[in-house]
């Protein structure tokens, strides 16, 4: 008896076809710093630019898009997940003021369907091109027996660079700074285990049309993560810190970029309809919503008060609604979120009530 690799469930020819389908999209992300083309064992960039830095620090991040991929798989729509991946990875390194230099991706699947893989990578590549970040390499791994034929997961990693004396973060934040909120495009890529459970218990199919949203629930849930890379880099020389609002919600993430002794007081805002739909459908307590979902704010910029109006205008000018959400105060020791995600930093207090929730 002879058993071939294809009989074991791995189709190397399908993998090759997927590469051919995605190759042109990946190539469009390559700027003048990329050395070599698509298909090598390792991607390379010309790092001569780093010679212009006095003390270049490399910033790195890696992430995935969580169980949002289950919705993409259920609806057989795969060309939006890529932007989610780029947003989750690249906008984490932008938080420290780092300019992204490159990104790589990894896709694990039960069976390589070339068109599906190409759709995923095309989405990654288009997002990378929009923020001038080369998609320098990647891997598609076929794992029969571990994943079902229609199952896959995606992950990515990015590297950026920032001048040591330009690093943004808690050390720069001062009393009186203004917190500028930048709107999310929707749920982004966190909290989907909660969202999917709410829909499951309610018996909602992803094709159900929701009047409040003006579309099906599945279409709303697949709206890709907004990219803040360009606007944050444009604001970096006037900002003291950024906060990417991802898993854990706004307060837990904002506390990570505040120094001990200071407190961010944030006024609750007008929440987009999708969050009310989830809240009402599942009877989800407000505390759970705040600790799980972004509730309509995807990025925060902490800026000196004299730059707040300009920062808001700059964000609005590129189509990202922004507003003054709060101020940085001396910590009064009262009730607040502190010490979130292992960081012994400042505190965050949310005041007032949400509109639209």
- Name the fold adopted by 12-165: 60s Ribosomal Protein L30; Chain: A; (3.30.1330)
> DSSP string spanning 31-50?
-TTEES-TT-SS-EE--GGG
- Name the fold adopted by 170-351: Phosphoribosyl-aminoimidazole Synthetase; Chain A, domain 2 (3.90.650)
- Kindly state the tokens that stand for 90: 């690249």
Backbone angles phi, psi at 334, to 5 degrees: -75, -175
pLDDT tens by residue, 240-252: 999 999 989 999 9
pTM to 2 decimals? Answer: 0.92
Backbone angle region of 333, left / alpha / beta, with phi > 0 → left and psi within -120 to 50 → alpha: left
CA 13 to chain centre: 33
Residue 274 CB-density burial (10 A; 0-12 exposed, 13-18 middle, 19+ buried): buried
DSSP 334: S
pLDDT tens by residue, 38-67: 666 777 888 889 999 999 999 999 999 999
pLDDT tens by residue, 199-216: 999 999 999 999 999 999
Domain 12-165 and domain 170-351 have a common topology: no
pLDDT tens by residue, 113-162: 989 999 999 999 999 999 999 999 888 999 998 999 999 999 999 999 99
User: Residue 192: which H helix or E strand, with range?
Assistant: helix 192-202
User: So where are the chain's domains?
Assistant: 12-165, 170-351
Buried/exposed 212-229: b ≥16 CB within 10 Å, e otherwise: ebeebbbbbbbbbbbbbb
Helix (H, G, I), strand (E, B) or coil at 310: helix
Compute the distance between CA of residue 86 and CA of residue 105 in angstroms, rounded to an integer. 9
């Amino acid at each position: 008896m002879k058993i071939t690799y294809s009989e074991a469930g791995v189709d190397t020819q399908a993998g090759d076809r997927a590469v051919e389908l995605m190759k042109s999209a990946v190539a469009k992300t390559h700027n003048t710093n990329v050395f070599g083309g698509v298909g090598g064992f390792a991607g390379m960039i010309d790092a001569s630019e780093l010679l212009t830095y006095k003390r270049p620090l490399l910033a790195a991040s890696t992430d995935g898009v969580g169980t949002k991929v289950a919705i993409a798989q259920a609806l057989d729509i795969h060309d939006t997940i890529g932007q989610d991946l780029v947003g989750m990875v690249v906008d984490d390194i932008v938080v420290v003021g780092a300019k992204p230099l490159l990104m790589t991706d990894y896709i694990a699947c039960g069976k390589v369907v070339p068109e599906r893989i190409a759709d995923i990578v095309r989405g990654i590549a288009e997002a990378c091109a929009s923020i001038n970040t080369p998609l320098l390499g990647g891997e598609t791994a076929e794992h029969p027996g571990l994943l079902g034929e229609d199952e896959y997961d995606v992950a990515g990693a990015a590297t950026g660079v920032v001048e040591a004396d330009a690093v943004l973060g808690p050390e720069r934040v001062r009393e009186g700074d203004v917190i500028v909120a930048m709107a999310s495009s929707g749920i982004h890529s966190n909290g989907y285990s909660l969202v999917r459970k709410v829909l499951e218990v309610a018996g909602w199919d992803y094709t159900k049309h929701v009047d409040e949203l003006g579309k099906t629930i599945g279409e709303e849930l697949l709206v890709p993560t907004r990219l803040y890379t360009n606007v944050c880099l444009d604001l970096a020389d006037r900002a003291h810190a950024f906060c990417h609002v991802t898993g854990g919600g706004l307060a837990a993430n904002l506390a990570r970029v505040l120094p001990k002794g200071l407190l961010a007081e944030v006024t609750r805002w007008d929440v987009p309809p999708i969050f009310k739909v989830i809240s009402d459908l599942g009877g989800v307590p407000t505390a759970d919503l705040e600790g799980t979902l972004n509730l309509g704010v995807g990025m925060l910029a902490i800026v000196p008060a004299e730059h707040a109006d300009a920062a808001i205008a700059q964000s609005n000018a590129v189509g990202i609604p922004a507003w003054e959400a709060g101020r940085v105060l001396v910590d009064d020791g009262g009730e607040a979120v502190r010490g979130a995600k292992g960081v012994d930093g400042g505190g965050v207090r949310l005041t007032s009530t949400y509109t639209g929730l």
